[in-house]
Amino acid sequence: MHQRLDYFATSAKFFKSYLEFNNLVHGEPSLKEFADLVTVRASQLNGCAFCVDMHVKEARIHGERELRLHHLAIWRESGLFTPRERAALAWTEALTRLDPHGVSDEIYEAVHSQLSEQEMSDLGFLIIAINGWNRLCAAFRTTPGSCDAAFGLDKAGLN
């Protein structure tokens, strides 16, 4: 198989703008509570090896417990997540794997019972950001770990 293109360089102006959007979303204080869980879970659902690798390392650097990261795939059955985290994960799954009829009233109301309108809206943009990265990295097969030094992820000690 031949090497896939470098979308960072090929579409540099779009990459730069999307990175600015991503940084703005990740800089929102209200999203810090959920950002690591959401980015890992969306990346798992989308099968993006680069992003799972990257966001697990970020989560560990941010102090996330290893067992909770392992439990993300089974968060509904796990007792390790708060009701607010469960709502964020449910919203992540609903917006990542859109039902043909959209997000159900049941899911919307369940999430809205735990998160404010501002949190739901802001979280939606975080989910949009990670889903976009997942699609680009999966399409162009960005190599997991290839940006660790540049992003400071080597500090996670997970090589």
Choose between 54 and 153: higher pLDDT.
Answer: 54
Confidence of residue 2 (pLDDT cuts 50, 70, 90): low
User: Do the beta carbons of residue 55 and residue 43 sit within 8 Å?
Assistant: yes
pLDDT of the residue at 25: 97
Residue 29 has pLDDT above 70, yes or no: yes
Mean pLDDT, rounded, of the chain: 93
pLDDT of the residue at 6: 87
> Could you tell me which CATH class the domain 32-156 is placed in?
mainly alpha
pTM (two decimals): 0.92
> Mind listing the pLDDT tens digit for each residue in 86-128?
999 999 999 999 999 999 999 999 999 999 999 999 999 999 9
pLDDT of the residue at 37: 98
What span, in angstroms and rounded, lies between the C-alpha atoms of 42 and 91?
10
Nearest CA to 151 out of 133, 127, 132, 128 is that of 133
